[in-house]
Amino acid sequence: MNETQNYFLKEIEDSDIENIYRGLSDPEITRYYDVHYPTLEATKEQMEWYKNLRKNKTGLWWGIYDKKHQQFCGAGGFNDWDRKHKRAEIGFWLLKEYWGKGILKEVMPLLFEMGFTQLDLRRIEGYVVSDNSKCKRALGKINFTYEGTMRDYEVKNNETISLDIYSVLKSEWI
């Protein structure tokens, strides 16, 4: 079982659609994301995305559950898995009621571990919208190295956004 002291991870399945919808329909959660699903029906697209990652071996995502109440708290995982270059992008979100409890600090290192062992990665990278202060404060509490900022890298709703890049390497982890 992929677990920490207080949380465990379970691969996302179609039956998790309600949980995913609760998260990715919340504008405060998707504020810095390229996806937002206003309806349960629309969320089917995201469930397809998770399924295709696994089918095409281009990533894997898990639901995050608390051990005490067996409740769904959020999701984390890998996409853009490049098996030739042994690297992948990591992602992570929590339902709002679980914000501010240090869950990223406890769970993201487990994802790193799984990436380096189960996906045989050498490099794990994260792209964070530069204005996403909550995320950056959380990442500041773990061993995830800030590498730099890609300035005015994307245009979203007619606004240019910059992206910060973080990474952790197997050589510095294990």
- Please identify, using beta-carbon distances, which residue of 104 and 110 lies nearer to ligand COA: 104
User: Where on the phi/psi map is residue 62: left (φ > 0), alpha (ψ -120 to 50), or beta?
Assistant: beta
Please select the residue that binds ligand COA; options are 79, 130, 132, 167, rule is CB under 6 A: 132
Residues in the chain: 174
Using DSSP bridges, classify how beta strands 123-129 and 87-94 pair: parallel, antiparallel or unpaired: parallel
Using DSSP bridges, classify how beta strands 145-156 and 72-82 pair: parallel, antiparallel or unpaired: unpaired
Q: Is 102 in the site for ligand COA (CB under 6 A)?
A: yes
- The interface region with ligand COA, picked from 9-17, 55-63, 110-118, 137-145 by CB under 6 A, is 137-145
CA–CA separation, 81 vs 98, rounded Å?
28
Residue with CB nearest ligand COA? 100
Minimum CB separation of residue 139 from ligand COA in Å reads 6
**Strand-pair partners of 166:** 126, 146
- Please identify, using beta-carbon distances, which residue of 159 and 171 lies nearer to ligand COA: 159
* Residues of this chain that bind ligand COA (CB under 6 A): 29, 32, 92-94, 99-105, 132, 134-135, 137-138, 141
